[in-house]
């Protein structure tokens, strides 16, 4: 598979982030990176805690890093680790800010040998039956995420009247 320079930068950013992982309990380091529609890349690494439930995955760190900078349109996500695959919580959070086209790169990376195996899929394929906040009534039918694209297919065009007030 031939990868664009942009995706290669995304992968390298995730690999670099993996080296910053704080994982003294599991010794399982994970790096992630998010590429936004504006072309910016945001890194993340897993951060463990002695109280395991307070740990956070690399994917969510990268996403939250982008979101805190008002970058909510996600083009691609990369996860790097030994047999890297996002957990269920990360899949749901990734979906919140993705479209059906948002690419997901899973990179099985061995830092000792520098060998990597890249698998390309999509966020949508990784979570085929997500919790849908539009269907549940929690969000309007026009959020800036995957659900907007799905909902817009079923919406009828609205006609607005200009200059008239009731």
pLDDT, tens digit, for every residue of 156-166? 344 444 444 43
- pLDDT score of 108: 96
Q: Which of 59, 96, 101, 103 is catalytic?
A: 59
**What is the chain's length?**
166
Q: Are 58 and 17 in contact (CB under 8 A)?
A: yes
Tokens of 152: 């817009």
Q: Is the pLDDT of residue 10 over 50?
A: yes
Instruction: List pLDDT tens digits, range 17-68.
Output: 999 999 999 999 999 999 999 999 999 999 999 999 999 999 999 999 999 9
CA separation for the pair 73, 149 (Å, rounded) = 12
Which is more confidently placed, 72 or 1?
A: 72
- pLDDT score of 110: 81
- Is-catalytic flag, 103? no
Q: Are 34 and 66 in contact (CB under 8 A)?
A: yes
Token pair 């951060």 is found at 47
**pLDDT range class, residue 145, cuts 50, 70, 90:** low
Backbone angles phi, psi at 91, to 5 degrees: -60, -45
CA separation for the pair 58, 62 (Å, rounded) = 6
Tokens of 66: 């982008």
- pLDDT score of 153: 39
Q: Are 122 and 99 in contact (CB under 8 A)?
A: no
Backbone angles phi, psi at 65, to 5 degrees: -60, -45
Instruction: List b or e across 43-78, with b for residues whose CB sees 16 or more CB atoms inside 10 angstroms.
Output: bbbbbbeeeeeeebbbbbbbbebbbeeebeebbbbb
Q: What is the CATH number of domain 5-128?
A: 3.40.140.10
Instruction: List pLDDT tens digits, range 87-143.
Output: 999 999 998 888 888 999 999 998 788 889 999 999 989 988 888 777 788 877 655
């Amino acid at each position: 598979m031939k990868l664009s320079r942009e995706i290669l930068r995304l992968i390298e950013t995730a690999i670099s982030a993996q080296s910053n992982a704080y994982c003294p309990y599991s010794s399982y380091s994970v790096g992630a990176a998010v590429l936004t529609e504006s072309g910016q890349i945001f890194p993340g690494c897993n951060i463990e805690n002695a109280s395991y439930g307070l740990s956070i995955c690399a994917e969510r760190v990268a996403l939250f890093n982008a979101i805190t900078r008002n970058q909510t349109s996600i083009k691609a996500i990369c996860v790097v680790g030994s047999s890297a695959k996002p957990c269920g919580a990360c899949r749901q959070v990734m979906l919140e800010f993705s479209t059906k086209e948002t690419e997901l790169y899973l990179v099985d990376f061995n830092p000792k040998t520098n060998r990597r195996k890249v698998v390309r899929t999509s966020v949508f394929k990784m979570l085929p039956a997500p919790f849908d906040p539009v269907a549940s009534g929690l969000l309007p039918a026009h959020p800036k995420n995957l659900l907007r694209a799905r909902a817009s297919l079923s919406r009828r065009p609205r006609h607005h009247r200009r200059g008239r007030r009731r």
